Structure 1
Amino acid sequence: MRALFIPFLFIVFFANAQAQVSSVVKGKISGKVTDATNKQPVDYATISVYKQGVASPFNGISTDPKGNFTVDHIPPGEYKITADFLGYQRATIEHVIVKDGDNVSVGEIKLAPVPHQLQGVTITAKTPTVESKIDKLVYNPQNDLSAQGGVAIDILKKVPQITVDIDGNVELQGNANIRFLINGKPSSIFGASLTDALASIPASQIKSIEVITSPGAKYDAAGTGGIVNIILKDSRVEGINGSVNLSAGTRRENGSFNLNMRKGNFGVNAFFSGNKQLNSNSPNMRTNTSVDKFSNTTTLFQEGSNNFTRNGYQSGLNLTWNISKHDDLTGSIGFNHFGNHSKGISNQRQSKIDSLGNLITDFESIRNSSSKFNGTSTDVSLNYKKTFEKEGQELEVLYTESFGNNTFSSFQQQDYLNALIPSSGISNNNPGKDRETNISVDYAHPISKNFTLETGAKLDFNHINNNIITDTLQGGVFVPNPNQTYGFIYDRKIYAYYLSASASIFHNFLDVKAGLRDEYTTTKADFEGTNIPNYNILVPSLVLSHKLGGGQSVKISYTRRVQRPDYGDLNPFLNISDPHNISTGNPALKPERGDNFELGYNKSFDKGANINIAAFYRRNTNDIQQFTTFYSELEINGITYNDVSLSQQYNLGSQIRKGINIYASVPVTDKFSLRSNMLFSQRTSNNPGSASVTGFAYRINMNAQYSFGHDLSAEFFANYRSSQKDIQGTNPKFVFYNFAVRKMILNKKFSFGLTASNPFANFVGQRSTTFGSNFSQVNIRQVPVRSFGISLSYKFGKLDFKKENKEKEKDDDMVTPDATPAEKDKGK
C-alpha cells in the first residue's frame, strides 16, 4: 500500500510546492453578474480576463448559480474584465489593478439584454473533458473523436476510475457492483442485461457521464462500487434545433436523431436512435483436467467457435413546463429495446485414465448451441420542482415507473461420434416481466449563507414475474421436462429516509457535506424452500473539501454502500445450457456491505493542464463472489451429468481493495494535447477456511489529439488492462487502440469522421484460468476487434434568445456556457 501512495504524496507535494512559490505574488478577481432589468443573478455567464491592451484572454471562468465568480492565480498587473451571456450585451471593466496577493472585487456587473433577437446562430466552444466537483467527476465526450459512431461502452473506456473489459463488463475503482442511472433516474433497461443496455445507447446521444465514487445520503445506497450517471442531451434554447448522426462500419452501425423545440415557457425534446453490432465469429478453446475420488484423471477438451450479433434502439419524449418563476414541471417517456443472438459449434473429446496411466474411456462428440435474448423497457417519469424566494430553498417530487419485458431462450445438443451413447440436449425458454416504481421527495433549506440542511424520503418497489419452460431430448425428440419447468414471483420493497447537511466552516476554509441514510428492505420470493429475511441498513457519508489556492483542491470522503443480491443471484434455477458448465443462484445470499474511503487531489494549471488523483481504500464484508465446484457426477432431478463445473454465488468473507487513480490532461501546444488515465490497485480476498488471495492489477490509457486547423482534427487512443488473480484463477489482460479523424464544415454544422480500431490485428487473445481442489481449467478465446467505420453528423436549427427566459436558456448541445467572447461576437 505504501508503494501505491508514494506517487500520490509526491505529486501533491510537488504541485503544492510549486503553487506556494507562485501564490505569494498572485491575487484574485471576484464579483457578481446580474440582469440589468430584473436584478436576478446570471448563472453560467462567461468571465474573461485580458491583460490590458491584449486582444486574447489568458484566464476565465463561468459564474456559479448565484452569479458569483472568483478568478484566482492572477499575477500583479493591469487587466480588462469582460462578462458575456447569450442574448445580452457584453459588459467590460477596464484598468483593473491587481497587486501582490490582492483580492480585487469588481462588484456587481450588470448585463443588458440585446435589443434584437439572434437569428440562425450556431456557437461552439470546448468544454473541459474532465471536471472535478466536490462529490463527483464529470466526463464530457463532446471532443471525443474515437468514440464517434460508437456506444456508451466506448465512452466509458476513457472515463477516469472506470475499467471496461473486452466483453463490456464495467468496473469502478475495480468494483463491478455499480448503480447505473440515466439522467439521475433508475431504469429497467439496466436490470435485464447491463452490457446490452450500454451497447444500445449511442455515443452521439450522451452529453456527459458522472462518476460518483462516494455518493451522499441523497443517493440510493445500492452499489458497493458507486454510481455512474449517464446524462443524455437535451436543449432549453428558444426555437427549433436538432441533430442527425449516422455511422457505418465493418463491425457496428448506428443512427440517431434529436429534435428540440421551445416556445416561451414550454419545451419538447424528442429522440430516436438505433444500432446493430454485425456478426462476429470468436474461436475458443477450453481444457478441463480433474481427478475423481478413485484417483482417475479426466481430461475434457472443447474447441469451436461462436457467432454473435447484437441490436437495439431507443426513443423518447421529454416535456418541460416552466409554470412560473418558482415552479417547474418535467415529464418524460422512453422506450428501449435491445437483444443479442449467439450461435456456436464445439468439437469435444473426453478421456479418462487411471492412477497407473491406463486408458479407461475415450470418446468424441459435437455440441451445437444457441442462445437468444430480447428485452424491452418503458420508462415514465414526472418531476416537480419548486424554488422559494429564499435562495437555495427548494422542494422536489419525483415519480418514475419502469416496465420491462424480457425473453431468454437457449438450446444445446450433444451428438457422440465414436461411442454408443444416445444424443442428449436441452432447450429453455425464459419469459419474464418486471416493474419498478420509485417515488421520492427531497427538500433543501438553507439555515444561513454557509449552512444548508437537506432531507427526503423514497419508496422503491420492484416486482418480477418469471417463467422457465424446459424441454429435454429423449429418443431424438424434445419433450417437456416438468422438473426443470416452473415460475416464480419476486417482490422487493425498499423504504428510505435521509438527512444531510452541507456547510463552509472556519471562514470558508473547509467545505463539509455529511449525511445519514436509513434503508429498510423486505424481499419475498416463492422459490421453493426459501425464506429471505428483512433487514435494515444505516448508510453514513462524509465529504471534506479544501481549496489550497493556485487552482488546487483536496478532499477526503467516506461512505457506506450495499449490494443487494438480485433475483438472478437468488434464483435456484439450474442453467444447463452447457451440461459441463452449469450455473445457479443461491437463495441464502446476504447483502454485501462496503465501506469506502477516498483521498482526492485536483490541480488546474494556468495554460489549461489538469491533474486529478484519487487514492482509495474499500472493504467489503459478506462479499458476494462466484465460486466454481467440480463434480465428476452431479444428479439433477433424476438425471446424472458427468464432469460438471457448477458455478454459484456465495458470501465469501471479506474483500479489501486499495489503489490509486491518476488522471492528467496536458495541452502540449495550441494544436496538440495529451490525456492519460492510470489505475493501480491491489485486491485481497479473505475467505474463512481458505488462504487469503492477493492480486495486483493496473489499467493505463493514453489519448493524443491534434488539430490541423481548418476544423480538421485527429486522435489516437490506446488502452491496456492487465490480468488479475482472483480467488480461483486469473482474469485475462486486454489491449485496445484506435485512430480517428474528423472534418467539420458548413460553420461546424456538419462533420465527417473516420475511425479504425485495432487495425493491425484481427483478434485479441483472452486467456483465463480457474482451479479448485480437484480440477484446473484453461479458457482461451480469440475475440474479433478490428474494425473500420465512417460517421456523419449534422446540426440544424434557429435559436432565439429572450431575456425573460434567460434562466432557462442553457443549450447542452449546440451552445455551451464556456464559449469565448470572440466566439460569441462572431455569432452576433
Structure 2
Amino acid sequence: MRKAILIIISILLTYSYNTYAQGGAKGSISGKVTDANTKQPVDYATVSIFKQGSTSPFNGMSTDAKGSFKIDNVPAGDYKVTVDFLGYQKTTIEHVIVGGNPSTSVLNNILLQPSSKQLQTVNVVAKAPIIENRIDKTVYNAANDLTSQGGVAIDVLKKVPQVTVDIDGNVELQGNANVRFLINGKPSSIFGASLADALQAIPASQIKSIEVITSPGARYDAAGTGGIINIILKDNKVQGINGSINLAAATRRENGSFNFSARKGNVGINAFFSGNAQLNTTVLSNSTRTSTDADGNVSTLAQNGSASSKRSGYQSGLSFNWSITPKDEFTATVGFNHFGNSNAGLTNQLQQQYNPANTLLSTLASARNSDSRFSANAVDWSLAYKKNFKTEGQTLEFLFNSSRSNNTSRYSQQQDYLTGGYPSTGSRANNPGKDRETNVSLDYVQPVTKSFTLETGAKVVINNLSNSVVTDSLLNDGSYINNADQTYGFNYKRNIYAAYVSATFSVFNKFLDLKPGLRNEYTTTTADFQNVTIPSYNTLVPSMVLSHKFNDAQSIKLSYNYRIERPDYRDVNPFYNISDPYNISTGNPNLKPEKSNSLELGFNQSFNSGASFSANVFYRHNSDDLQDYSTRYDVLTINGRDYYDVLLSQRANIGTQTSVGGNLFASVPVTSKFNLRSNVFLISRNNNNPGIANVTGFGYRINLNASYQFGNDLTAEAFGNYNSSQRVLQGTRPQFFFYNFAVRKQFMDKKASIGLMATNPFGLYVNQRSVTEGVGFRQLNLRQLPFQSFGITLSYKFGKLEFSKNKGERGNNEGGENMPSAPEGGGTK
C-alpha cells in the first residue's frame, strides 16, 4: 500500500499543476476585506450576494483568518455584494458582473470603516459550537463546556470525538495509544516525563480548545501512529487590558487559573498562571494470580491492599506579540510547568504452592509497605516570525522552540514476612533525569495560481536525555547499603532531520480538492547502553487527502497516512522498577519503531436548524507493533539477586495489529433552549503475533450530553460516558462509566459566574475488574477508585473590549475568553 501511495503522490506532486491547468472553472466572486484604518484583515466578516432588485441574499459566506473569501458556483449575471461585521459600517458594492465559462469577478481589497458609534456594553449571543468538523481536524471548544470546567485536561479529552480515556488517564486516539501531544502547536518535554500526570496538571479552565488530527499532512512530524492532539491554551489579542480569574473547589480536586492580557496598537502581552491539586485519595486493590511451573506445581499469589495518592501541578506562561508591520509578526513565549505525585500503601500478600495432587506444599504470608514519588519541572520557550508577502497566501514562517525538563522518580519498599522466619527485605531507588528538546523549523507557502498552492519546509529536532540511578538494598539490621549492580547512569541522544513538500489543488472542474504530500525524516540515535547499538534509519512518509464539498453544509473526505512511533527513553531505559517485587517493570533498549498505514473516510453535514452530523470510518495496519507485554518467571535474577514468582513487564515489538473502526457524532437543538449531543466510537482490533495466539477484541465508547438554557444567564448540563470492556493482547481491559451534572449562573452583565458540579453523585467508587494472562499464569484484578465529587466554580472577567480590529480579534464569547482562532501550530509540527 505504502509503495503504491508513494508512486501516486509523486505523480500528483509532479504533474498537479498541469492537471489544474487543464480543468475549467465556474463563475465566482472573490475578494479580501480589510480594516480601513489599521490595514489588518477582517476575519469572520459576513459577505452576502443579492440578485439585483432582491432584498434577500441567495448566497454568501464568512471571510477566513486572512480576510479572504471566494464564492463559487455563481451563475452569470449582475449582482449586489454587501460586507458587514460588528463594529464596522456596512459596505455595499453594486453591479458586480459575473460572466460565463469561466469567469471570476475579483473585488480586490474591500475597506471596512469602523463604526463611530461608541459601544458601552457588547453582548454577542452567538458562540462557537462545541464541536467543529474541519477538513483536516476536529476542534472541541472547551470554553463552552460546563461539566468539565472544574476538572483538568483529562476530563475535557473524555468528551472529544474519537478520543478514549481510561480511569487512570491513559489516552487513545482512534483506539491507538501512540498519540503525539502538542501545546499551542508546539512540542513540550513535559509530556515525555509522564503523559497522564501532565494532562492532569492542566486545568480545564485554562483550555480554549482541543484539536484532533487523525490524518496529519506532510507538514506535521511523522511521530504518533494514532495521530496528533493539540491543546490550545487561552490567549487574547483584543485591544486594551483584559483578563479572567477561574476557581474551582471540590471534594476530590481543586484548581484555579488567572489570565491577563494587555494590547496597545501593534504590541501585546499575555500572561497566565494555573494550578491544581488532587486531594488525598485512597484506592483499594485486590488481585489473585494462579500460575503453573514446569513440574506441574500450582502457585497462587493473593495481594490485598490500599494506597493513598496525591497529585499537584501548576503552570505559568508569558507571551509577547509584536506586529512589526501589517505583514510581519514576531512572537516570543516562555512557560514553566510543574507536576508531581506521591503514592503510599500497605499490601497484605499470601503465597501458596500446591503439587499436582493438590497437596499444599508451602505457605508464605507477608506485608509490604511501599512509597513512590515523582516530580517534573519543565521550561518551554519559543521565538516565531511570520512574513506575509504581497501575493495573497504567500507566507514564510520561522520557529525556534526549546523545552527543558528535570524529572525525578523514587521509590522505597519493605517486605516483612509473617511466616517462614525470613528476615525483612527491601530496596529504595532514586532516579533523576534530564530531557532537552530543541526544534527549529522553516515553512514556506507559495500560491502558484488562485487554485494551486505549493508548501515546503524543513525541520531539525535535537533531543538529549540523561539519566542516573542510585539503588540501595535493606540489610538485616535495618540500614541500607548501596547496590552497585543497580546503580548506573546513561545518556540518550536522538536527532531528526526532516523536509517536506505538499500541494493543494482541484481537479475535474473543482469537483475534487486534493492535497498530496511527501515528508522525509532521517533519524540518528546514540545511547550508552551496554552491548546495544541503535542503527540510524530513513523514513519516507507519504500522505494524501481527497475532499469534495457538496455545498457549504455538506462535505466528504478520504485520507491516507503513513506514520511511525519511535520508542521513547522510558521504553528503552533498562532501569528495573522493583517497588513491587512480584510485579517488576523495565525498558527494552532493542525496540524498533512502530510503522502504521491508515485510511480514513469522513462525512460532515450541518443543517439550517443548527443541527450537525459527522461520520468517520478508518482502517489502520501497524507492523512492529509496540505493546506492553508481561512474562512470568518462577525465579528472576536481576544483577545477582533472585526474585520469585515475578511478572516482568516491558514494551516489545509484537507482530502486527489491524484496527477497523468508526465514529458517529450528532448535535441536535431539540428546541431553542434544549440541546442534545452524542458521540459513539466503535473499534475492532486484531493482533497477529508470531509464537503467540492471535487476539481479536471489540470495544466501544458512547456518551450523551444534554444542556438547557434557562433564560440568558442560567444554564444546566448533564453528561454521561461509557467505555466498554475489551479483549487485549494479554487479557481484558476494564469497563468504565461516569456521569457529571453542572449548573452555571451568570451575573454582572455576564462578567461573573458561579457554578455547581457533581461527578458520580450516587456512587463512591468506580470498580475496575480486569484479567491479565499469559504463558503459565492468569491474574484477576479488582481496583476500587473513589470517583465521586461535589464542587463549586467561580469565574470573573475584567477589562474593556475595544473594537479596533486587529488580526485574530474576536468579540465577547459567551462561556470563554475573547480568543483568536487557534494557531496552525507554527512550523512543521
Percent identical pairs in the alignment equals: 59
Aligned to 2:780: 778
Deviation of the 1:66 alpha carbon: 5.1
**Deviation by residue 1:659-703 (Cα, 9 ceiling, x = unmatched):** 110111111110001111110010000011223110000000000
1:107 Cα offset (Å): 6.8
Give 1:91 shift: 4.3
Paired position in structure 1 for 2:365: 364
Q: Which moved more, 1:44-53 or 1:491-500?
A: 44-53
Matches within 5 A, 1:683-722: 683-722=685-724
CA distance in 2, matches of 1:775, 1:656: 26
Q: Which residue in 1 is equivalent to 2:626?
A: 624
- Preserved CA contact (<8 Å) 1:296 1:352: yes
Structure 2 counterpart of 1:421, which letter? Answer: Y
Q: Which residue of 2 aligns with 1:346?
A: 347
Cα distance per residue 1:619-651 (max 9 Å; x no partner): 000001111111111111121111000112111
Query: Could you tell me how far 1:117 is from its partner in structure 2?
Result: 5.9
Distance 1:741 1:58, change over 3 A: farther
Give matches, 1:180-259, under 5 Å.
180-259=181-260
Q: C-alpha distance in 2, partners of 1:455/1:73? A: 31
1:56–1:572 distance in 2 versus 1, CA, 3 Å: farther
Which TM-score applies when normalising by structure 2? 0.90
Preserved CA contact (<8 Å) 2:745 2:754: yes
User: Does the aligned pair in 2 maintain the 1:303–1:346 contact within 8 Å?
Assistant: yes
Equivalent-residue separation in structure 2 for 1:28 and 1:609 (angstroms) = 30
Q: Which stretch of the first structure deviates more once superposed, 296-305 or 503-512?
A: 503-512
Structure 2 residue aligned with 1:414: 415
Q: Which amino acid aligns with 1:391?
A: E
- Structure 1: which amino acid aligns with 2:798? F
Alignment check: 8 A CA contact 2:808 2:820 kept = no
Which digits, 9 at most, give the CA deviation of each residue in 1:458-483, with x for residues without a partner?
Answer: 11011111111111111122211111
8 Å CA contact retained: 1:498, 1:515: yes
**Aligned partners of 1:121 and 1:798 also within 8 Å:** no
> Hey, what does 1:556 align to over in structure 2?
558
Aligned to 2:769: 767
Shift in Å, 1:322:
0.6
Change (3 A) 1:31 1:392: closer
User: Which piece of structure 1 moves more, 145-154 or 113-122?
Assistant: 113-122
**Contact 1:124–1:816 (8 Å) recurs in 2:** no
Residue pair 2:462, 2:494 contacting (<8 A) in 1 also: yes
- Per mean C-alpha deviation after superposition, the further-off stretch among 103-112 and 636-645 is 103-112
Note the C-alpha offset of 1:373.
0.6
Q: Residues 80-109 of structure 1, C-alpha deviation per residue, up to 9 Å, x if partnerless?
A: 98643343123479999xxxxxx9999787
2:588 corresponds, among 586, 589, 593, to 586
* CA drift at 1:131: 1.4
**Alignment partners' CA distance in 1, 2:659 and 2:192:** 26
Alpha-carbon contact 2:290-2:777 (below 8 Å) kept:
yes
Matched-pair contact (CA < 8 Å) for 2:41–2:806? no
- Superposed CA RMSD in Å reads 3.0
Contact 2:163 2:172 (8 Å CA) reproduced: yes
Deviations 1:554-598 (A, max 9, x none): 000001111001111112221111100011111111100011110
Contact 2:236 2:820 in 1 (8 A): no
Q: The residue matched to 2:196 in structure 1 has which SS?
A: helix
CA shift, 1:190, in A, is 0.5
Q: Which residue is equivalent to 1:6?
A: none
Question: Structure 2: how far apart are the matches of 1:456 and 1:415?
Answer: 60
Instruction: State how far apart, in whole Å, the 2-side matches of 1:148 and 1:83 are.
Output: 37
Provide the secondary structure at the position in 2 that maps to 1:558.
strand
- Letter matched to residue 578 of structure 1: D
Contact 1:122 1:815 in 2 (8 A): no
Provide closer, same or farther for how the CA distance between residues 57 and 504 of structure 1 changes in structure 2, counting only shifts above 3 A: closer
May I ask how many residue pairs the two structures share in their alignment?
Answer: 784
Cross-structure match for 1:300: 301
Structure 2 unmatched runs, 5+ = 1-25, 97-102, 822-829
The question of whether the paired residues in 2 share the 8 Å contact of 1:214 and 1:557 is answered with: yes
Unaligned runs of 5+ in 1: 1-26, 97-102, 819-828
- Amino acid paired to 1:354: N
Higher mean C-alpha displacement, 174-183 vs 546-555: 546-555
Q: Deviations over 1:513-572 (max 9, x none)?
A: 111111111111111111111111110000001012362100000011110011111122
State the AA in 1 paired with 2:174: Q
Distance 1:392 1:32, change over 3 A: closer
Shift of 1:60: 7.5
Matched, 1:807 2:816: no
Pick the aligned partner of 2:532 from 526, 530, 533. Answer: 530
**CA–CA separation in structure 2 for the residues paired with 1:164 and 1:178:** 12
Residues 65 and 808 in structure 2, CA contact (< 8 A), matched pair in contact too: no
Residue 598 of structure 1 corresponds to which residue in structure 2?
Answer: 600
What is the distance in 2 between the residues matched to 1:58 and 1:702?
36
**Counterparts of 2:355 and 2:42 in 1: how far apart (Å)?**
82
Q: Is the CA contact (8 Å cut-off) linking 1:119 and 1:798 kept in structure 2? A: no
How far did 1:504 drift? 2.1
Is contact 2:33–2:42 with CA below 8 Å preserved after alignment?
yes
| Matches of 2:552 and 2:272, distance apart in 1 | 43
* 3-state SS of 2:806 partner: helix
Cα 1:147–1:434 shift into 2, 3 Å: same
Distance 1:674 1:552 in 2: 21
CA shift, 1:47, in A, is: 5.0
Letter in 2 for 1:339: G
* 3-state SS of paired residue (2:205): helix
What amino acid maps onto 1:481 in structure 2? Answer: N
Q: Greater shift after overlay, 270-279 or 131-140?
A: 131-140
How far did 1:116 drift? 5.7
Comparing 475-484 and 262-271, the one that deviates more: 475-484
Instruction: Kindly state the Cα deviation for residue 67 of structure 1 after the two structures are TM-superposed.
Output: 3.8
Q: 435-444 vs 541-550, which deviates more?
A: 541-550
Contact 2:28/2:73 (<8 A) preserved: no
**In structure 2, how many angstroms separate the alpha carbons of the residues matched to 1:628 and 1:580?**
12
2:90 corresponds to 1:90: yes
Q: Which residue in 2 is equivalent to 1:15? A: none
Residue 523 (structure 2) pairs with residue 521 (structure 1): yes
1:72 to partner: Cα distance? 10
Q: Distance in 2 between matches of 1:295 and 1:328?
A: 73
Aligned to 1:635: 637
Equivalent position SS for 1:185: coil
Decide whether aligned partners of structure 1 residues 111 and 292 sit closer, same or farther in structure 2, where only a CA change above 3 A counts.
same
Q: How big is the shift at 1:29?
A: 10
Deviations 1:430-477 (A, max 9, x none): 111111011001111111111111111111011111111111111122
- Partner in structure 1 of residue 290 of structure 2: 289
The 1:774/1:50 distance shift into structure 2, 3 A limit, reads: farther
